Structure 1
Amino acid sequence: MSATETTEPSENAESTAIRALLESSAEAWGRGDGAAYGSHFTEDATDVTFVGTVYHGADEIGRAHQALFDSFLKGTRLTLEVLDLRFHGPATAVAVTRGEVHKGRRPRRLGKLATYTLVRTPASTWRIAAVQKTRHRPLMEAFSFRAQPTTRPRPRPRAAVAS
């Protein structure tokens, strides 16, 4: 995973821990292990899926994803790339990722975006408190930028992509 981060030296270990959490959640997805996937979330987490379904809590997220892994998402993998990681105090961070659910090799285009709110638990481990997923619509985005150029976000530096 790669990240453009707003960090101070003390945050390097925290950045590494958050990237490891997101990578571990993607590995659980790839194994089709709903319980392991759900364990990456807080007990009161919110997961807003790509289709707009809202799941609440680690247990519900794990159970629902197991049903998905056993049916619609059987044999899929989740590839994530961290685009931005920012800390908001010592126990809260927001990560913006680009990713894709796929079978087989890593897709050339990662067309989904997700915003993760992460919190450090009292046991000093990071967990996902909320995630919101959406599809990137490049043609609609290009049209918007052309029709109203001031809607274009300012360029941000990006780190090298790793898988």
Structure 2
Amino acid sequence: MTTEDRRAVEETIAALVRAWAAHDDRAYAALFTADATYVTWVGTRYQGRADIGGSHRVLWQKFLKGSTLADEITDVRFTGPDTAIVTSRGEVLRGRPRKLGKVQTYVVVREPDGHWRIAAFQNTKHKAMAEAVSFRFAPGLRPGA
């Protein structure tokens, strides 16, 4: 894919971070396809733009009030002209930055209107200790082994 496509995909994730910082549920939801799937790090599954926006509106009013989002893209892989898989490290922050303890996977698609939107999102809490133990006792589990 083109450099322009990659920049557009990266901008979609950057816009997500900005919408979070503004606690703007409409702007946040608009970055997803109408039928997007969103899975949180605790395993809650939301389906569709309205569900994603509504849940974040409540989160920002309650548990995540005043939070910001850190998201550092680690890879963008295009699987076709209109589909990219993005992996990143991230964290919900309150106050000063800290270690990015979550791993995200996004499926980003170019829709007929030309905009890149998130069709699927999976967020996983990185458990470094469990990972280290598993690699020690089963080295073949290490990526690239």
Deviation at 1:125, TM superposition (A): 0.9
TM-score under structure 2 length normalisation: 0.96
Where 1:88 maps in the other structure, the secondary structure is strand
Aligned to 1:140: 130
Matched, 1:112 2:102: yes
Give, in whole Å, the separation in 2 of the partners of 1:115 and 1:59. 21
Aligned to 1:94: 85
2:19 equivalent among 17, 28, 48: 28
Q: What is the percentage of aligned positions where both structures have the same residue? A: 45
Deviations 1:2-33 (Å, cap 9, x if unpaired)?
xxxxxxxx421111111111011111111111
Give, in whole Å, the separation in 1 of the partners of 2:42 and 2:56. 13
Deviations 1:42-91 (Å, cap 9, x if unpaired)?
00000001111111111110111001111101000000001111000100
Considering fraction of residues, name the structure with more strand: 2
Please identify runs of 4+ aligned residues in structure 1 that moved more than 2 A.
none
2:140 equivalent among 127, 150, 158: 150
Aligned to 1:3: none
Give, in whole Å, the separation in 2 of the partners of 1:11 and 1:66. 35
Structure 1: any 5+ residue segments left out of the alignment? 1-9, 156-163
CA-based RMSD of the aligned residues comes to 1.1
Deviations 1:82-128 (Å, cap 9, x if unpaired)?
11110001000100110000112222x10001100010000111000
Give, in whole Å, the separation in 1 of the partners of 2:120 and 2:140. 30
Looking at both structures, which has the greater relative contact order when contacts are Cα pairs under 8 Å and sequence separation is at least 6?
1
Matched, 1:42 2:39: no
Aligned to 1:6: none
Aligned to 1:54: 45
Deviation at 1:154, TM superposition (A): 2.2
Matched, 1:79 2:70: yes
Aligned length: 145
Structure 2: any 5+ residue segments left out of the alignment? none
> Which amino acid counterpart does residue 123 of structure 2 have in structure 1?
K
TM-score under structure 1 length normalisation: 0.86
